[in-house]
Structure 1
Amino acid sequence: MHNVIEKAWGGYSENEVLCDAFSLTITRRDVKTLSGLNWLNDQVINFYLTLVMERSSSGDWPKAYAFNTFFYPKLMSSGHSGLKRWTRKVDLFQQDIILVPVHLGLHWCLATVCPKEQAIRYYDSMGGRNQDCLNGLKRYMEAESMDKKKTSLDTSNWTLECVEDIPQQMNGSDCGMFTCKYAEYLSRKAKITFAQKDMPYFRKRMVYEIITQKLINP
């Protein structure tokens, strides 16, 4: 595993394609965002969340669906009307958890929608709150129900929560890592037990998981 990771980080060509799957291409430049204290880029986050989604499709795990990193800005700028075609092939209301990466310019967070629990939650590794995100996702689910099912979704009893008492980053560069690991743990209904000290290991582990196109069993 160490050799695979070192080879991914150590080649000369930044543009060399190391992985091509799920309609996503990962180059050495992308993988290098997982080294040191670099900020993760969209490609890495999207690929990793796709691996989370792929794992859930085996039937051994809760049903998870992950939107890519371009969903949230489109939601906040255009609302549901700009996103209708994104879910032509998926029934969001059959999912146990919907994962939404949220980029705030210089900071990554995670939002989740759990339709069966009637809950929308927000996870920020720097303790921030984002009621606009929660409200935007609630409006989105209401519009999605009307558009796809032709029925009104009653969200009056839904829980909207900015989750507290979760692991926090202790530097200015690991927000993307925390976002990905929140998603991975939540997708299998695991208690979030990792901490800042685990991030160097998780960075290497994610390189291996991306190159092999499969998550390591928890």
Structure 2
Amino acid sequence: MDPEAVELAYSDMKCLEPEEYLKSPVINFYLEYLKKSRPRRDLYMFNTYFYSKLENALSTLGNRDSQFSKLRRWCRNVDIFTKSYLILPINETMHWSLIIVCMPTKGADSGPMMLHLDSLGLHNSQNIFDIVASYLGEEWRNLRKDSSYDIPFSRTIWKRLSRNIKGEKIEVPRQQNEYDCGIFMLYYIDKFIQQAPERLTKESLGMFGRKWFNHEEASQLREGIRTRLFDLFQSAKEDDGPSEPEWQSF
């Protein structure tokens, strides 16, 4: 089985009905769809469960190295610092927002930049920045143990990486209802993948803004995902016989 396959129940599609909140199985399905349909080797996308695991690792008493060793299994064989971008879905208090970590180039004089995109402005950006920065710091400390590690950017920045991680709250188009936060988060990701340069700097932040796209474009994504999933379940039903499939991996 494909290790990136997402297992979905037919009942998971209920969250795609009008005025419903998107749930993790459907969001993860669409993230995998974006990976395959808009491939970018310079980008790494975490699934929706990673952030909660990260919060748990930071809040658990005891050996932090042990906690983060378990966390590394989620992105095994991926050096996050060699990517241009890290995409990290955030779910707190029944609301979805998005973190995009932008890594610097080899010659840059600034460190990683965390962007927070929130379609309602409900999440505490600074709290999320602190959590994500802690993750980057732990990964940095782990890699520093390896004297042969090929540092992916300026040694000056790398030497004091924890002090060089910055956060930016980004103005973005807002949802016009209470329930489209997951839809908007996915649309932010899709638009970003299509438009982001090889490396994003602070001077490039003008690509965002309240007029980045029309909010109606994002809301229409709900029906697009629903149609795509319905077609996949119908195909699975035809392949497997007359009984309606309860679960499928895509």
What TM-score results when the alignment is normalised by the length of structure 1? Answer: 0.75
Q: Which has the larger radius of gyration?
A: 2
SS of 2:195's partner is coil
Q: Which residue of 1 aligns with 2:220?
A: 201
SS of 1:206's partner is helix
Q: CA separation in 2, counterparts of 1:101 and 1:38?
A: 18
Does the C-alpha gap of structure 1 residues 54 and 93 become closer, same or farther in structure 2, counting only changes over 3 Å?
farther
Where do 5+ consecutive residues of structure 2 fail to align?
59-66, 106-111, 147-158, 197-206, 233-250
Which has the higher relative contact order, 1 or 2, with Cα contacts under 8 A spaced 6 or more apart?
2
Select the residue among 131, 143, 150 that pairs with 2:145: 150
SS of 2:90's partner is strand
Figure out how many residues of one structure are paired with residues of the other and give that number.
Answer: 190
Shift of the alpha carbon at 1:172?
A: 0.7
1:124-160 Cα distance to aligned partner (Å, 9 max, x none): 1112332111111111112112224536561433331
Q: Show the 5 A alignment for 1:51-200.
A: 51-57=33-39, 61=40, 63-79=42-58, 81=68, 82-116=70-104, 118-128=112-122, 129-148=124-143, 150=145, 154-164=161-171, 166-189=172-195, 191=207, 193-200=212-219
What TM-score results when the alignment is normalised by the length of structure 2? Answer: 0.67
- Please say if residues 42 and 84 of structure 2, whose CA atoms lie closer than 8 Å, have aligned partners that are also in contact: yes
Q: CA separation in 2, counterparts of 1:100 and 1:87?
A: 12
- Please say if residues 56 and 63 of structure 1, whose CA atoms lie closer than 8 Å, have aligned partners that are also in contact: no
Look up the equivalent residue of 1:160 and give its one-letter code: G
SS of 1:77's partner is helix
Q: Percent identity?
A: 28
